[in-house]
Amino acid sequence: MPGRSLTRRTAVGVTLVSPLVATACDIDPPSRDNGSADAPPPPPEDSELVTAVVAALVRARSVVEAATLSVPDLTPLLEPVATAHAAHLGVLEGAVADADVPTPAPPRVPADRAGALTAVRRSEQRLLREVRRGCVDAASGDLARVLASMAASTAQHGAALADPAAGQEGS
Amino acid sequence: MTVLDALQATLADEHVALYTYGVLGARTSQATSPVLFETLTSGYRRHRARRDQLQLMVRDAGGDPVAAEVAYDLDGALLRPPQIERAAADLEAASVEVLLALVAQSTASVREWALTEATWSAVWRLQLGQTAETWPGAPELDQA
C-alpha cells in the first residue's frame, strides 16, 4: 500500500497552497530581485481591513522600539519580534497608501525589565486580535492566508515572550 | 478547489498526524522522557479532537469523510527523543500549512476554526523545541 510520510504531508500542504500562489495572489511576497515590498492593492472591500492591520503593526513596532530603548538588555529577546513586524509590514505596506500609514504617538513603556516586557506582551496580544479579525473578515482568501500566517507568527512570539525563562534571559 | 475539497484534504492530513503521533508516543518512554511523553500525549489529543471536528465539518458540507489508511510510511530514524521531538515539530509545521490552505478556501466559522487550529499548531512547535517564525505555514513568504 502506498504510504504517506511526514515529507509527503508537507507536499500536501504545498499542493493545496500552490494554486493560490500561482494564480492571483493579492498579497505577493516582496521580490528578491528588486528588493521592493510593493504588493498589488487588495480588493477594495479589503482595503480598510489591510489599513487597520498595518496600523496595528506600526503601533506594535513602536512599542517594541520603545521597550528596547527603555531596557536595552531586552534587545536580544525582542529582536525576533521586531524582525517579524518588519517582514509583515513589508508584505502589507505596499498595499496601503502612504497617507494611510499612521504615525503613532511614542508609547510609554516602563523602564524596568518586567514592566517593559509586560507592555510588549500586551501590545502583541492586541496585535494578534487585530490580525485575527482581519483574517476572518477578509474577502480575499489569499489575503486571509497571509494574515493567518501572520497571526500564527504573532502568537508564537507572544508565547515565547510569556515563557518565564525568557523573562530572565540576559538579566 | 472547493471548501469541501480543502476540508477533506485537511482531514486526510489529520489521519496521518494521528497515526504519526501514535507511533511517536509508542517510541517514547514515559519513565525516561516524561516531558516529551506528555507533550506528545497532549498533541495526540488535540489532533484527535481536530479530526473529529473535521469529520463533522465534512458531513455538514455534504461530503463523506475520507477514511484513514491502515498505516502510513514514516521518514527517517525515529528512535531517540530528539528525533521524535523533531518529527512531531515537523508534523505540526505541515499541519499549519494545510490549515492555512483551508483558511484560504473557507469563510466565516470554518475559516475561524482553521485559523485557531493553525495558530495552535504553530505555538505547539515551541513546546517541541522550535523557535518562533516569521511566516509559519507560508514558506514562500519566508523566501521574500
Question: Above 60 in pLDDT, residue A48?
Answer: yes
Residues 68-107 of B with CB under 8 A from A: 69-75, 87, 90-91, 93-106
Size (chain A), residues: 171
Question: Above 60 in pLDDT, residue A12?
Answer: no
> In which band, very low, low, confident or very high, does the pLDDT at B59 lie, cut at 50, 70 and 90?
very high
Residue B136 vs residue A169, higher pLDDT: B136
Cα separation of A84 and A91, whole Å? Answer: 11
pLDDT at residue A40, as a whole number:
57
Whether residue B75 lies inside any domain: the answer is yes
Whether residue B144 lies inside any domain: the answer is no
Average predicted confidence (pLDDT) for chain B: 96
Whether residue B89 lies inside any domain: the answer is yes
Q: Note the pLDDT tens digit of each residue in B66-109.
A: 999 999 998 777 789 999 999 999 999 999 999 999 999 999 99
A153 contacts B132? CB cut-off 8 A: yes
| Residues contacting A46, CB < 8 A, separation 6+ | A26, A138, A139, A140, A143
B17 contacts A9? CB cut-off 8 A: yes
Angle between helix B3-26 and helix B108-127 axes, rounded to 10 deg: 20
**Which member of A6, A30, A141 has the closest CB to residue B104?**
A141
B126 contacts A91? CB cut-off 8 A: no
Chain B's closest residue to A32, CA to CA, is: B144
> Where are the alpha helices (H) located in A71-112, listed in sequence order?
75-92
Q: Note the pLDDT tens digit of each residue in A83-123.
A: 999 999 999 987 787 767 778 888 999 999 999 999 999 99
The set of cell numbers assigned to A100 is: 494611510
What pTM was computed for the model? 0.85
pLDDT more than 90, % of chain A:
60
Task: Please tell me the total count of domains within chain B.
Answer: 1
Q: Note the pLDDT tens digit of each residue in A19-40.
A: 334 333 444 333 334 434 455 5
- Chain B contact set for A12 (CB, 8 A): 9, 12-13, 94, 98
Which CATH number is B111's domain given?
Answer: 1.20.1260.10
Domain ranges in chain A? 44-168
Chain A's closest residue to B91, CA to CA, is: A6
Architecture of domain A44-168: Up-down Bundle (1.20)
Cα separation of A21 and A27, whole Å? Answer: 9
Residues 15-74 of B with CB under 8 A from A: 16-17, 20, 69-74
Q: What angle do CA A70, A74, A78 make, to 5 degrees?
A: 110
